[in-house]
Amino acid sequence: MDRRSLLQLSLASTLMGIVPSLAVAGVAKRPERLKLGDTIGLVAPASVTYESLQLQIAVEALDAMGLKSKVGLHVMDRFGYLAGEDEDRASDINAAFADPEIDGVFALRGGWGASRLLPFLDFDLISKNPKIFLGYSDITSLLNAIYAKSGVVTFHGPNVMSRWNQFTYQGMREVLFDAESATYSNPEFIDDDLVARKHRTQTINAGKVTGHLIGGNLTLVSALVGTPYFPDARGAILFLEDVGEAIYRVDRMMTQLKLSGVLGQVSGIVFGHFTGVKPNPGLGNFALMDILKQHCEPLEVPCYFGAMIGHVEQQSTVPVGAIAEMDAGAGVLRLIGPAVR
């Protein structure tokens, strides 16, 4: 990007009240792929882990994947409902990126608290030591902030305490170990019926588009808007998921993305699962799809719902900052090249 373009971006960002992010579409830094025997730094950026058995199971899960573990100093700390003081939780992340013995950084769990760490993260350090950073749910804020401020591709996928079934594990391996240009399409599941009822996708606006991926949990994405940690949305494919939210709150958060200008900047939207989001009884209520259509149809960009992203048993690993193409009519998302080196 030349000096004139940077000045134009700075001016536009100032007018919008947004600090320009470091990451520019197409120039994100890809971390090194994982190999058998690599060491994973285990960190707890959000909620407290009450039982040491949960940590033991997480370590055993990594061992079953052929990976070693190095547990952050403050992983089992407790500060109210958080896994330790903000500075301490952030220091574990900074230390993991600085440690030459650690090859990747995985979040133990989500919950709440990751956004509180953003002022304490050393983004210059992370930029100089790009490593795989994996997690989802509340970890969304870290994934997008690291991409925005350091230019490093991060990965929205299972936390270590997630259930590692075959779909989830193989999907993670394709992206992080095998460096494949992954295709995200839903598994067919017909069961004892004439037509498939599970894992359906629904097209909101048909079409195909290419862009860099940003997003994750809708609650956390909307909460980042207006901060210095929100990634560049221009031309992006935005992916969103959530769990346990009332439909009016989904409406409120989508309205925030609209009023902030984010929805008007993206080239396409992929909705994952909105687990447990159902209309309240009564004839006057909206269904979730009503709300999504109200916000997305006027955009006239490709959008579809139902990708295997988010709080769902069979979970995909999606790289924030990687370039992808989507076919909303087919309900398919594809990476344009590997997300790791």
Closest C-alpha among 152, 159, 71 to residue 114: 159
Q: Which two tokens stand for residue 207?
A: 């079409």
Could you tell me the end-to-end alpha-carbon distance of the chain, in angstroms, rounded to an integer? Answer: 23
Is 241 noted as a catalytic residue in this protein? yes
Looking at the chain, which runs of residues are DSSP E strands?
39-43, 68-71, 104-107, 132-135, 154-156, 183-184, 202-205, 208-217, 237-243, 268-275, 303-305, 318-320, 323-327, 332-335
* Paired residues of 333 in beta bridges: 184, 326
Is 311 noted as a catalytic residue in this protein? yes
Alpha helices in 117-165, H assignment, sequence order: 123-128, 140-150
Catalytic residue among 156, 199, 273, 311: 311
Catalytic residue among 69, 137, 141, 150: 137
| Strand, coil or helix: 5 | helix
Alpha helices in 85-139, H assignment, sequence order: 86-98, 123-128
Is 47 noted as a catalytic residue in this protein? no
Catalytic residue among 241, 260, 267, 295: 241
Distance CA 158, CA 2 (A): 38
The residues carrying an active-site annotation are 137, 241, 311
